[in-house]
């Protein structure tokens, strides 16, 4: 994963399609398993989140890019134990599980990702025709 930082990159995302707090399910050897609150951003063909020193910190450390959204797919996860979940699978290799704050928020995230991918492929196909 790549981490980028500049003075205005954290404050002023360009071309933002959707952004907001969301829970990310984390499993791994280094980080304690669980759900972590993240500021997730969908923009400029990527899905990323703003990194902070701690949950109560207001100063951002930078931006961590999770995946290139054009190589990703998104699907609803229907689970009674953890409602409002969806998964983003990157290039059939890495799957990120997110939990939105409510049904409307989940639908907005899933729709925004699907619309972006669909729009890109329509534009790409039109460029091939012309």
- More confident of the two residues 42 and 6: 42
The helix or strand, by DSSP H or E, that contains position 124, with its residue range, turns out to be helix 103-129
pLDDT, tens digit (0-9, with 9 covering 90-100), for 57-115: 666 678 888 999 888 899 999 887 889 999 999 988 999 999 999 999 999 999 999 98
Please name each of the domains of the chain with its CATH number: 3-129 (2.30.29.30)
Give the tokens for residue 23.
């829970």
CB 43 within 8 A of CB 12: no
Which comes out higher in pLDDT, residue 15 or 107? 107
Residue 84: the pLDDT is: 95
Encoded tokens for 36: 């972590």
Q: Which helix (H) or strand (E) holds 84?
A: none
Q: What is the pLDDT of residues 23-65, one digit of tens each?
A: 999 887 776 788 989 999 998 789 998 876 555 666 667 888 8
Q: Position of tokens 């959707």?
A: 18
**Looking at the predicted structure, is the pLDDT value of residue 1 above 70?**
no
Instruction: Give the pLDDT score at 85.
Output: 96
């Amino acid at each position: 994963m790549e981490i980028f930082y500049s003075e205005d990159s954290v404050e002023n995302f360009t071309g933002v399609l959707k952004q907001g707090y969301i829970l990310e399910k984390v499993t791994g050897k280094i980080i304690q398993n669980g759900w972590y609150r993240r500021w997730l951003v969908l923009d400029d063909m990527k899905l990323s989140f703003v990194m902070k020193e701690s949950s109560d910190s207001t100063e951002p450390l930078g931006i961590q890019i999770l995946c290139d959204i054009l190589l990703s797919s998104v699907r609803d996860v229907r689970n009674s134990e953890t409602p409002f979940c969806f998964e983003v699978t990157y290039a059939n290799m890495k799957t990120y599980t997110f939990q939105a704050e409510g049904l409307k928020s989940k639908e907005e995230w899933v729709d925004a990702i699907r619309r972006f991918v669909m729009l890109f492929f329509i534009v790409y196909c039109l460029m091939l025709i012309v």
